[in-house]
Amino acid sequence: MNRVGTSMAGGLAKPSTHKRQGLCANPRRSKNPTEAQEMAVLADYLDASGLLWCHVPNESRRSPRQGARLKRLGMKAGVPDVLIFGRFAVIDEKMANARWYIGVAIELKRKGGSVVSPEQRVWGNKLEAAGWFWAACCGADEVLSLIRNRVIPEGSPLLCGPQTKKGMMVSLEQDGCPV
């Protein structure tokens, strides 16, 4: 996930403004799943995982009237697509260190030219400042790789004692770890 923007990686990759050279560049866009199709795959996995999560459906097209109504009710541009609630240890991209976060926020991008908007960058920075882990991922497979390989929920046996994950020593012991 060399193009994922996280606080541990020192900020976001700077995607080009040209659509074909964006965060998730792929010249064969027509063969790529839509963001909605990618989100459906991710939703199935997250539902089965037992994690507390939700999808923020900001991507829908709306009439100006409906958009104004939703904005008045609190809808915000740039909010990440997926919010996963709870304390998590997240292993950095080099698989060397881990940090605690109060939640995980994912901006899901379609493979094939998607870019992170300025509003999404602002939300990512604000969430990181508030103690959340934030990442922009190209497709459901990249999100699933992140969750399976680098995100460890609090109370997991991997966090108790000298356990390893992908060859990395995890030293984030917590009270109440399962035996």
**Contact, 132 vs 103, CB < 8 A?**
yes
H or E stretch at 177: none
Strands (E), 19-132: 52-55, 82-91, 98-109
In the chain, where the domains are located:
19-170
DSSP one-letter code for 33? P
Confidence of residue 114 (pLDDT cuts 50, 70, 90): confident
pLDDT beyond 80 at 12: no
pLDDT at residue number 157: 76
Is 0.85 topped by the overall pTM?
Answer: no
What does the pLDDT average to over 36-50?
95
pLDDT at residue number 10: 33
Tokens of 3: 């193009």
**Contact, 170 vs 97, CB < 8 A?**
no
pLDDT at residue number 4: 42
Of the candidate CATH numbers 3.40.1350.10, 3.90.1150.10, 3.30.1450.10, 3.40.50.300, the domain formed by 19-170 belongs to 3.40.1350.10
